[in-house]
Amino acid sequence: MTSLNASASTDTGYESDRQLAEYAEFHFGDMVYGVPNFPKALAELAFAHMQDRPRRRALDLGCAVGRASFELARQFDSVDGVDFSHNFIRMATSMVDTGAVHYARVEEGDLVSDHTRTLESLGLSDSARKVGFYQGDACNLDTRFSDYDLVLAANLIDRLYRPRLFLDSMPARIREGGLLIIASPYTWMEEHTPKEEWIGGYWKDGRRYTTLDGLQNHLGGHFRLIDPPRKVPFVIRETQHKCQHSLSEVTVWERLPGPETDGQPAE
């Protein structure tokens, strides 16, 4: 769901009108092939795991155009959505300000169809007053983005240029007993993330080292995995005849009591 890229440049690969329309449709558009809306599904998963935990503040990192942020605001008092893409944040903010977004969805070649999606039609009108959107870098996030009961990082870590730094900064951003939810298809590519920064997906000491192994290594000192990993499907529509169908592995981590870290990557 993210646009936070391997490079800190403005050429994120998510700045074109076509990409913006694809993500607007992904977040606010029609169901494709019967697959439930991905941002909404993650928010519902978060609610199920929060149980009796406080629901004061949530952070949606790599929020893209903001659907999960609005969904989280159904139950949280305040939600911050952060993404690297200026255009994504502009569209999300427009949804807050006007209650609607407009975009041209590609059907075939140069043929498009115009669409308007509203918070009212999604049952999210009351969420706008509780959500704020900000442009930011998940690997170098301002210290004001702290003290959360929930951090959601959806389809983010395998597009970061320093995912280890991102993971190691999480204890300082989440309250004790709060949750960190990470969702990712683990599509590690050197064009986004230098190989030495990959969390997993390689051989280490003669054995397969998965991203789940890496997550446990980096988070284990301050978090505990509270549920077995699960696969959540998502579909990104490109044209009326072409879609990307993927699975994102979701892990849910509870912040343990203990000191915060300085955000330095673990060895």
Q: Angle at Cα 117 formed by Cα 113 and Cα 121, nearest 5°?
A: 135
How far is residue 266's CA from residue 171's CA, in Å, rounded to a whole number? 13
Specify if 5 maps to a domain: no
Euclidean distance between CA atoms 266 and 168, whole angstroms:
7
- Spatial distance between the Cα atoms of 198 and 6, rounded to a whole number of angstroms: 11
> How do residues 196-222 score in pLDDT, each as one tens digit?
999 999 999 999 999 999 999 999 999
pLDDT band at 267, cuts 50/70/90? very low
d(CA 175, CA 169): 13
Q: Is residue 11 part of a domain?
A: no
Q: Which residue has the higher pLDDT, 20 or 12?
A: 20
What is the number of structural domains in the chain? 1
Confidence of residue 260 (pLDDT cuts 50, 70, 90): low
Q: Is residue 262 situated within a structural domain? A: no
Q: What would you measure as the largest C-alpha separation in the chain, in angstroms? A: 56
> Could you give the CA distance from residue 48 to residue 74 in angstroms, rounded to a whole number?
13
Q: Residue 14 pLDDT more than 50?
A: no
Q: What is the pLDDT of residue 13?
A: 42
Domain enclosing residue 95, as ranges: 17-255
Query: Across residues 80-89, what is the average pLDDT?
Result: 97
CATH code at 178?
Answer: 3.40.50.150
What confidence score (pLDDT) does residue 261 get?
A: 55
Residue 83's nearest CA partner among 105, 100, 71, 67 is 67
Q: pLDDT band at residue 4, thresholds of 50, 70 and 90? A: very low
List, in order, residues 6 or more apart from 91 with CB less than 8 Å away: 20, 24, 65, 66, 101, 103
The reported pLDDT for the residue numbered 1 is 61
| Residue 120, domain member (yes or no) | yes
Residue 266 is assigned to a structural domain of this protein: no
In a domain, residue 88? The reply is yes
* Confidence band for 90, pLDDT divided at 50, 70 and 90: very high
pLDDT tens across 21-69, in order? 999 999 999 999 999 999 999 999 999 999 999 999 999 999 999 999 9
pLDDT number for residue 111: 96
What radius of gyration, in Å, describes the C-alpha atoms of the chain? 18
Nearest Cα neighbor of 28 from 18, 37, 19 is: 37
Task: State the average pLDDT over residues 153-162.
Answer: 98
Token duo for residue 156: 């983010």
Mean pLDDT of 109-124: 96
Q: Tens of pLDDT along 127-139?
A: 999 999 999 999 9
Residue 169 has pLDDT above 60, yes or no: yes
Q: Which residues pair with 150 in a beta bridge?
A: 58, 179
pLDDT(225) > 70 = yes
- Residue 264 domain-assigned? no
With contact defined as beta carbons under 8 Å apart, do 69 and 42 qualify? Answer: no
Q: Is residue 97 part of a domain?
A: yes
Give the rounded percent of residues in the chain with a pLDDT score beyond 70. 91
| Residues 70-109: b if buried by 16+ CB within 10 A, e if exposed | bbbbbbbebbbbbbbbebbbebbbbbbeeeebebebbeee
